Amino acid sequence: MMAVVVLGLTCSLLAGCYTYRPLGGVDAAMPAPGDHVEARLTPMGSASLAPQVGPDVLLLEGQVVSADSAGLTLAVTRSETARRIGTEWKGEHVTLPRGDVASLRERKLSVGATALFGGLAGGGLVGVAALLGGAGGASGTAGGGQGQGHQ
């Protein structure tokens, strides 16, 4: 039963809670390859990138493949239209010219939210384990039994 509790706690902590934080000015932001970012496109950028990403796409999420002063190449994992319709991608590479990007945000682990979630999940798992496994601690007979006496 303890293995189930440990496995549950491990899974809940691995899930983690993430938040997106601004990377500063688009012209100066140089995220490292492998960083997970969210790029919000300008209206003009959305129109010029429509043949690659689809019509009306304003948001692209993915991992940075490369970044330089001219643009940013992403392995896109998700896009979202102005109507908030999301589409999952499989890591296709899309190059975004800097002038087409309105803002960049980087995905970061939210330590506080992850700790809160992990604590709640862990407490729930311990509670379930106690209910299902029983909380009994003593085994054997309680009083009145014949035991070995001193002679």
Top pLDDT among 14 and 60 is at 60
Is pLDDT above 90 for 57? Answer: yes
Mean of all residue pLDDT scores within the chain: 78
3-state secondary structure the chain: CHHHHHHHHHHHHHHCCEEEEECCCCCCCCCCCCCEEEEEECHHHHHHHHHHHCCCEEEEEEEEEEECCCEEEEEEEEEEECCCCEEEEEEEEEEEEHHHEEEEEEEEECHHHHHHHHHHHHHHHHHHHHHHHCCCCCCCCCCCCCCCCCC
- Nearest alpha carbon to residue 67 among 31, 19, 27: 31
Global model pTM greater than 0.75: no
Per residue in 84-131, pLDDT tens?
Answer: 999 999 999 999 999 999 999 997 765 554 555 555 555 666 666 667
Top pLDDT among 45 and 146 is at 45
The architecture that CATH gives domain 18-108 is Roll (2.30)
Residues 6+ apart with CB under 8 A from 86: 78, 79, 80
